[in-house]
Chain A
Amino acid sequence: MPAGLKLRNPFAMECGVYKTTYEQDMALHPTPLSRLRLAAMLAVFVLFPLMADPYYVSVANLIAIAAIGAIGLNLLTGFTGQISIGHGAFIGVGAYTSGYLTSQLGVPFWVALPLAGIAAAVVGALFGLPSLRLKGLYLAMATLAAQVIIEFTMYHWTAVTGGSRGLLLTSPSLGGFVFNSEIRYYYLFLALTAAAFIFAQNLTRTRVGRAFMAIRDRDLAAEVTGIELFHYKIMAFAVSSFYAGVAGTLWGHYLTVISPEHFTISTSVEYLAMIIIGGLGNVTGSIFGAAFMTLIPILLRGLSKAMTGVFPNIETVINALREFTFGATIIIFLIFEPEGLAKMWKNIKDYFRLWPFSY
């Protein structure tokens, strides 16, 4: 072979990509292919609402809100190994804080949004205190208690929460620009979800995120490497609940009405399902999980509508199936793909990475 002829095959998509600096090696999108994929995805996300029916845009909006909450829960449960059955309630804390601040005190949405995140973070950190002593199932029980206590507060602190009637919220506005259509919400949510995603990606590849994972994997070893367990567990609860608070705020201002039944234990369980199905300890997976859990009931509803002509009682059957499907899907994932949709996505990427020599 003549000198200078590189062994690089021009048809293979990613062979012989050499990295010369640590910056390149640590980049989230180190190769031309991954940058191309990122650009294509961004283009799809930006163009999507211009082409899609508003109904689908509204579905995307729900997915975006759920994705933020799921990324947050994944930071706590997937990355730090601390289970929370209280996330439904932490989301509620965000929604009510922002609702109260904007409707009762006239605070602008843009100020209320971070404040609601902080309020949820404080409450989450507080209910995370038992994680110093409790692990696994016992911690789950403690966070379940958080869920119950916060739900109780939502019903009974009527001066702030409006009790079971709930609160009315307004659409956010910027100058004279009001976010009052699906498409406007879409771009707001897209930006915030992207920010939430990037923040989590960065956090999990730097000092604090690594400490989270160390605690999840081996807490004894984490301690002797200098990681104060308590400090980082509480931090994980706080960061995670901040995400929950932001998700709750967006949810409230999007639906413009909130009441306690939006923030029940079944919400908590749905979020847990999202991160299990999407992939524990995987930021991208949280988004897949959020999409999956949002789409399943919609698909089931569509199915039942389509079939009522033929089977008049199908509606009730499929409604019952809804819970069943959730449960069954979680179990199927736990057994067959414990790393979730994120792992499947990785397999697909790996297949194409060396395509056409993917053996």
Chain B
Amino acid sequence: MTPPAGQLVVEKLILHFGGLTALSGVNLEARPGEILAVIGPNGAGKTSLLNCISGLYHPNSGTITFGQKDITKMPAPTRARLGIARTFQNIELFRHMTVLENLMLGRHIHLKTGVLAGGLYWRWAQSEEVQHRRVVEEIIDFLEIERIRKKTVGTLAYGLQKRVELGRALALEPKLLLLDEPMAGMNTEEKEDMARFILDINEERGVTVILIEHDMGVVMDISDRVAVLDFGRKIAEGKPEEVKENPEVIKAYLGGKDLQLTVV
């Protein structure tokens, strides 16, 4: 039996930075088509885990399997081609480019035009641009960012930048979408919009989502399952309501003086 496309399995992942252990033997599975939230106090290793999955960090040991492929040693661009896209905790947009250009870059792996064809702008280079522009415009409609499509992203408000970054990840047509705190720093309304987008992406496009988020309300609302990291270890995993009651989780959060969980 072949595992379905969006499945990600992380096994015994260990990552050191000098003397510091960011991940010490993390096991994690994202089932195809689910929204898996990864939570944990600051410095727990959430971003490091995402960086290992997208190929920006290389773990000291352990394996990462996506679909049927062992991707542990693959460079980041190759993983993108397999259908792994992500956003960043601190927005990493191409600041000097427009929203359109950023989204077109999101489609990079689907385009073919090389130096010569691009420079000469032969008919088919143009038709490729038009064809992918259509896809990008659909994403722009979906994210309701029509009015800013020609704006340079560096000039946009923070919440909009987060949205554009989601759009860029979406343009890749990912099977697995990694979101690192997509709602951080947003107001309630913006958070609701973002949550709606994530749910739509998951439901309509069948994209598997791994979501790092500090806002427990959002996590409880939209995720199918939750995994909890603390000091580089996974201390709990399960349905949102189960995890919420888990004493170890409560201890980790209270110990970290991070009281967000009690707000729920």
Contacts and interface: CB of A to CB of B under 8 A. Distances in A.
Interface of A: 22-23, 26, 199-200, 202-203, 205-211, 213-214, 216-218, 220-229, 235, 239, 281
B172 interface: yes
Given A206-B113, A211-B105, A218-B92, A224 B118 contact: no
A226 B120 contact: no
A226 B76 CA distance: 7
Contacts of B255: none
Given A224-B76, A227-B77, A199 B120 contact: yes
Contacts of B119: 199-200, 202-203, 206
Contacts of B92: 218, 220-221
B186 interface: no
B130 A214 contact: no
Contact of B77 (A199, A213, A217, A223): A223
A202 B117 CA distance: 9
9 contacts: A206-B129, A207-B112, A207-B113, A211-B105, A214-B97, A218-B92, A221-B168, A225-B106, A228-B75
A22 B105 contact: no
Residue from A199, A220, A223, A235 having most chain B Cβ neighbours under 10 A: A223
A209 B117 CA distance: 12
A202 B76 contact: no
B176 to A, nearest CB: 12
B126 A239 contact: no
A118 B254 CA distance: 64
A224 B169 CA distance: 9
B185 to A, nearest CB: 18
Interface in B85-115: 85-86, 88, 92-97, 101, 104-106, 108-109, 111-115
B77 A226 contact: yes
Contact of A226 (B80, B115, B118): B80
Given A213-B96, A218-B95, A226-B108, A239 B115 contact: yes
A202 B120 contact: yes
Contacts of A26: 126, 129-130, 133
Given A203-B119, A228-B77, A210 B56 contact: no
Nearest to B125: A206
B56 A223 contact: yes
B133 A224 contact: no
Nearest to A242: B115
B76 A210 contact: no
B41 interface: no
Contact of A218 (B86, B93, B126): B93
Interface in B60-91: 75-77, 79-81, 84-86, 88
A224 B85 contact: yes
Given A22-B133, A210-B105, A217 B96 contact: yes
A291 B105 CA distance: 33
Contacts of A211: 105, 108
A207 B129 CA distance: 8
Given A220-B92, A224-B85, A226-B109, A210 B77 contact: no
Nearest to B130: A22
Contacts of A224: 54-56, 76-77, 79-80, 84-86
B196 interface: no
B121 interface: yes
